[in-house]
Amino acid sequence: MTNTNPLWKILLLAAVILTGALLALPNIFGSDLAVQVSGSSQPLTSEAIFTAKNAINEGGFDGVEYREAENQLTALFQSQEDQIKARDLVLRAVQPETTTVALNLVSASPAWLRNISDPMYLGLDLRGGVHFLYEVDMVEAIKSAEERFVSDWKRTVREAGIKGYRIQHSNGAINARFNVVADRDRMYEEFRSEGRDLVFKTSEDDKYGYITANLTETAINEEKRAVLQQNITTLRNRVNELGVSEPVIQQQGLERIVVQLPGVQDSAKAREILGATATLEYRLVYGTPADWSSAGPGRVPAGARLYKLREDGSNILLNRDIIVTGDQIKDASAGFDQQSSAPAVFVNLDGVGAKRMQAVTQDNVGNLMAVVYKENRRITSYVDGKEVTKDIKTEEVINYATINDVLSHRFQTTGLGGDEAATLALLLRAGSLKAPINIVEERTVGPSLGADNIRQGFLSAVVGLFVVVLFMIWYYRVFGMVAGAALIINVVLIVAVLSLLQATLTLPGIAGIVLTTGMAVDANVLIFERIREEIRAGSSTQTAISAGYDKAFSTIADANVTTLIAAVVLFSMGTGAIKGFAITLSIGILTSMFTAIFGSRVLINAIYGGKRGKALAI
């Protein structure tokens, strides 16, 4: 037995080391402060690129570097003050409704290396940014789900020709009251056939017959899941509109959502965009100005709702039936009305909304149609030194006009300010939240703190690696040097795989790398101790080396597989930091199996292979 290496093993190890080094190399160069300009509602034009560059050049910054890619311009700066100032200059120069301007950190590696590999992403704790923990208002979500049946019930009753009734959502249930019990019984069968997700109860007294309905437990659970997923999708769309790189948006538990925005420095703007529930409703105007002025609380005609005009706060009556809502808007952009030059939101409806808008406007040419602006906001104030939060709900008519022609897919809405129009267009593009969300926790991590975390985490990994390698060399001599080389290669491969997968590295991820360092060398300890046992048993050096690797393999595989199973469970059931730890631990286990068993054996064979009788330095 000679333990020599076939050529393919040498070439394979060399290829893996070279590839891993190239993939990991960009992480050495660090990051540059950048302002990224990209298209939002449309691709970034050459005119927009020229405008952004001109605005930056007029700022007189030193050492600005530009990088252009598809639909994106990146400008690099030497200081955070220059970065923020340049962002403000670009925002004032470009069209905010079609262009997204964001602060970011980009790789400082050379251009030739960027074409090969990108560095791994850094998490919030390493890069700085903002962390939000939102709680979805499930009570409001279930209420809204039940209220959707109210209009269906009313339509069914009207189609049946029944006059004496009242249908509303109150006391957490859908309630229908009928003047005639026979009408109640007739509608009960109709409602049951249409509402399979409802649980019904009937009752009556001397005057009326009643139907009460609630969602079933199964329907409630399905609605909660749908609400959570819809809100996650909407938040992700809004984050994309903000131009944030590498965001983390994920579910936590059954009612909460975690949003982490690395690199974001304007937490107030992010909080405003993410939590806003602004949307539009289009309704026909009810009655005449004389009817509006005489209306008031308790004096609203049946079939109408009372609103306030934004312009002067006066009353206006609108039909209760909604033509289309923000849910049916598939695209929106901000601009200016060609005739009045007033800020406008240009709206594109989906197929259902367009069909509904066309049918209503076709029957109401010459009548008035109004636009209702709806917004839910949560404001924080301090009363007697204590923080007090208050929810404000706004519903106001921003515009009404005569329907001069049939409308369909695309039209415009005016009556908003410039910034308000741009924000509303963003929210409409991203989609509306299916249920309100409330901030449970908000944290801001500064870039300087992130830099400290990187420095300390890197130092801990280097010190841990150095101490382990030093101990292995002292205890196992030449074999310890081989184990140290394999350990260094293992760390490089972990970083390379993280870069290849574009995974996000966090502080727990660094902890996973440090833990993997100890686990990786543990495999070599098992192999080397087995080789020592074989030598003490009288085996030749070549037989001892071969037996050491072969007989220790099953033990190493068992230990690593069980740890890998634990890491997979952590990843599948954990959230946030736990997932980051599990990812690096899993990658480290796989790479350490390669370096400790295959890599170190190739190196040992290169040193001792084919040399009979030579004493082993172990």
Residue 129 pLDDT exceeds 70: yes
Domains of the chain: 7-26+455-608 (1.20.1640.10), 31-108 (3.30.70.3400), 139-219 (3.30.70), 278-432 (3.30.1360.200)
- pLDDT tens sequence across 376-401: 665 554 456 565 666 677 788 877 77
Q: Tell me the three state secondary structure of residue 555.
A: helix
- pLDDT tens sequence across 149-193: 887 888 888 888 888 888 888 878 888 899 888 888 888 888 888
Tell me how far CA of residue 163 lies from CA of 101, 183, 213, 611, in angstroms. Answer: 57, 10, 21, 104
Residue 431 pLDDT exceeds 70: no
Residue 302 pLDDT exceeds 60: yes
Out of 50-64, 70-84, 502-516, 603-617, the most confident range is 50-64
Give the model's confidence band at 322: pLDDT under 50 very low, under 70 low, under 90 confident, else very high: confident
- pLDDT tens sequence across 90-122: 878 887 656 777 777 778 888 888 888 888 877
Residue 573, class by beta-carbon neighbours within 10 Å (0-12 exposed, 13-18 middle, 19+ buried)?
A: exposed
Q: Which residue has the higher pLDDT, 41 or 32?
A: 32
Residue 281 and residue 326 in contact, taking contact as beta carbons nearer than 8 Å: yes
Residue 541 pLDDT exceeds 90: no
Q: Are strands 315-325 and 279-285 parallel, antiparallel or unpaired?
A: antiparallel
DSSP state letters, 5-29: PPHHHHHHHHHHHHHHHHHHGGGGS
Tell me how far CA of residue 88 lies from CA of 26, 31, 82, 144, in angstroms. Answer: 30, 21, 10, 40
- pLDDT tens sequence across 457-488: 788 888 888 888 899 899 888 888 998 999 99
Nearest to 433 by CA among 79, 135, 25: 135
Nearest to 191 by CA among 155, 144, 235, 142: 155
Tell me how far CA of residue 587 lies from CA of 500, 546, 576, 590, in angstroms. Answer: 12, 27, 17, 5
Rounded to the nearest 10 degrees, how much is the dihedral formed by the CA atoms of 435, 439, 444, 450? -60
| Pairwise CA distance, residues 62 & 297, whole Å | 63
Residue 241 pLDDT exceeds 90: no
| Pairwise CA distance, residues 612 & 543, whole Å | 10
Residue 267 pLDDT exceeds 70: no
Lowest-confidence region among 36-50, 137-151, 217-231: 36-50
Lowest-confidence region among 1-5, 29-33, 591-595: 1-5
Give the model's confidence band at 492: pLDDT under 50 very low, under 70 low, under 90 confident, else very high: very high
Residue 17 pLDDT exceeds 90: yes
Tell me, what's the pLDDT at 382? 46
Mean pLDDT for the stretch of residues 409-417 = 67
Mean pLDDT, rounded, of the chain: 80
Mean pLDDT for the stretch of residues 574-598 = 84
Out of 66-75, 123-132, 344-353, 446-455, the most confident range is 66-75
Tell me, what's the pLDDT at 450? 64
Q: How many CB atoms lie within 10 A of CB 583?
A: 23
| Pairwise CA distance, residues 54 & 64, whole Å | 12
Read off the DSSP letter of residue 326: G
Nearest to 429 by CA among 324, 261, 273: 273
Residue 16 pLDDT exceeds 90: yes
- pLDDT tens sequence across 596-617: 889 888 898 888 876 765 667 7
